[in-house]
Amino acid sequence: MTKTFAGKIGKALSVLVASALLLVSALMLSACSGRYPEISMRISFNGEEYTLNYILYRNYYQQTVDHYMELIDMDYFDGTVISDYQSDRMVAGGYRYEGENTDELIALDYEAATKDADGNVTLENITVWKDKDRTQPTNRLHGETSSNGFSIEDGSGLTNQVGALGAYTYVSSSMQATQRMHYKYSSSDNYGDSEYHKNSFTGLFYLYTSSNNASAGDYCVFGILADEDSETAFNDLLEAISTYTEDNDLDSFAETQEDIVIEDEFIDGGSYNVDFEVPVSAIVIEEVWVTKY
């Protein structure tokens, strides 16, 4: 009888332990997939540093947030630079400089960072495939954009505002792609297929610099500045850029570099050309890190 009682106690304890482990796992999963993750970005320009804290809206743009957070955890963006200083945004996430030499942009190897030696995609968050059966995953991100038909049901999605963080791609509908892509819908477990340019996001992102709160359109705004200190830091950065331009009697803070080649296996010919407005003085993304998952 003692053995039977002991056996029952043992089984009960086993059940309790198993239940506790399941609860802990569930809590950890929940903690790792919060609705509003947070990141910090440390930027340097002309001898000064600026720290920007961002709130990311995973509850609106889960695929986009998960993709960029995975790259952040890989330290992918550390040491990269603003490579294209446009009239309303500055684009980063694709280039760096070699040491102190700021004369030539060096492209990041996104393919090497997201694939193994055999060419297999190593990203955990897959949203785009080459084939309908989803046996050939890609390292591209499906655009959660209004031009893709994506919208927030109550209309409360993010729009461009000063300091906004958005996903970026140079691929356009006018470029000849090698194939259509198969993707996962953001809001359901359904799948579809569409043109490549709608599924062409990689690691590029932009920081919005205009005071015009415009719709993102072909891009996905997935983060905003988290606090007043960050808003102040961002405006201080913009003011420093303006002051640098004036102090050096420059007509513009950026110089046009034409026909920069961007390699892309899904574009006919394997690459395409774009023009960049390259800053005359380096703006460096020194470090990006997750502060809240």
Task: Answer yes or no: are the C-beta atoms of 66 and 125 closer than 8 Å.
Answer: yes
Distances (CA, A) of 95 to 79, 98, 108, 266: 9, 10, 5, 20
What is the pairing mode between strands 254-263 and 220-225?
Answer: unpaired
Task: Please say if the pLDDT value at position 119 is more than 80.
Answer: yes
Q: Inform me whether the pLDDT recorded for 269 exceeds 90.
A: yes
* CA-CA-CA-CA torsion sign (52, 57, 63, 66): positive
pLDDT at 23: 47
Euclidean distance between CA atoms 54 and 57, whole angstroms: 10
Residue 109's pLDDT is what?
Answer: 98
Task: Indicate the pLDDT class of residue 49, thresholds 50, 70 and 90.
Answer: very high
Task: Say yes or no to pLDDT of 193 above 50.
Answer: yes
Between the CA of residue 52 and those of 3, 36, 90, 120, 250, what are the distances in Å? Answer: 63, 16, 15, 34, 27
Q: How confident is the model at residue 50 (pLDDT cuts 50, 70, 90)?
A: very high
Residue 210, both tokens:
């205009």
Diameter of the chain by CA atoms?
95
Q: What is the pLDDT of residue 24?
A: 44
Q: Quick one: pLDDT band at residue 7, thresholds 50, 70, 90?
A: low
Q: What is the band of 3 on the pLDDT scale with cuts at 50, 70, 90?
A: very low
Banded model confidence at residue 30, pLDDT cuts 50, 70, 90: very low
Higher pLDDT: 233 or 1? It is 233
Q: For all residues of the chain together, what is the average pLDDT?
A: 90
d(CA 31, CA 80): 29
Query: Above pLDDT 90, what percent of the chain?
Result: 78
3-class state of residue 135 by DSSP: coil
% of the chain at pLDDT higher than 70: 88
Q: Identify which has the larger pLDDT, 261 or 217.
A: 261
Provide the pLDDT for residue 212.
84
Question: Position 152: which residue type?
Answer: I
| Concatenated DSSP letters of 63-115 | HHHHHHHHHHHTTTTTTEE--EE-SSEEEESSEEEETTEEEEEEE--HHHHHB
- Spatial distance between the Cα atoms of 183 and 142, rounded to a whole number of angstroms: 6
Q: Against a cut of 0.85, is the pTM above it?
A: yes
Specify the range with the lowest mean pLDDT, choosing from 23-27, 131-135, 278-282: 23-27
Average pLDDT (135-162) is 91
In this prediction, residue 38 carries a pLDDT of 99
Rounded to an integer, what distance in angstroms lies between the CA atom of residue 137 and that of residue 16? 40
Average pLDDT over residues 42-71: 98
250: tokens are 């420059």
Q: What is the DSSP letter of 197?
A: G
CA distance 8 to 176: 69
Least confident window among 60-64, 155-159, 173-177, 247-251:
155-159
- Most confident option among 3-12, 71-80, 185-194: 71-80
